[in-house]
Amino acid sequence: MKRVEAQFENGVFRPDKPVSIRPGERVSLIVLQHPDPRRWDMARISETSGEEDLLLAEQGLAEWANALDAKNRD
């Protein structure tokens, strides 16, 4: 088992570096997507979100999660 960085293009995973796998050999993959900074563009989110969403974004996700946990304990 080893970690292999790859890019997904046209339905195919292309490793960043050569791997020691024979052509046609079957493998199992666990895919972990790298965070896409465009998804967390707070300026863009605030333009399309309501005031409550903006407050949550400004407060930070960790504090928001802690508040939810505290509310669930009540």
Where is pLDDT greater, at 56 or 22? 22
Q: State residue 29 phi and psi, 5-degree precision.
A: -120, 145
pLDDT digits (tens, 9 = 90+) for 16-51: 999 999 999 999 999 988 877 777 776 766 676 667
For residues 45 and 57, the answer to whether their CB atoms sit within 8 Å is yes
Q: How confident is the model at residue 59 (pLDDT cuts 50, 70, 90)?
A: low
- Residue 2 burial (C-beta neighbours within 10 Å; 0-12, 13-18, 19+): exposed
pLDDT average, residue stretch 51-59: 68
Q: Which helix (H) or strand (E) holds 59?
A: helix 51-59
Domain ranges for the chain, please list them.
Answer: 6-73
Distance CA 34, CA 55 (A): 26
Query: pTM value?
Result: 0.45
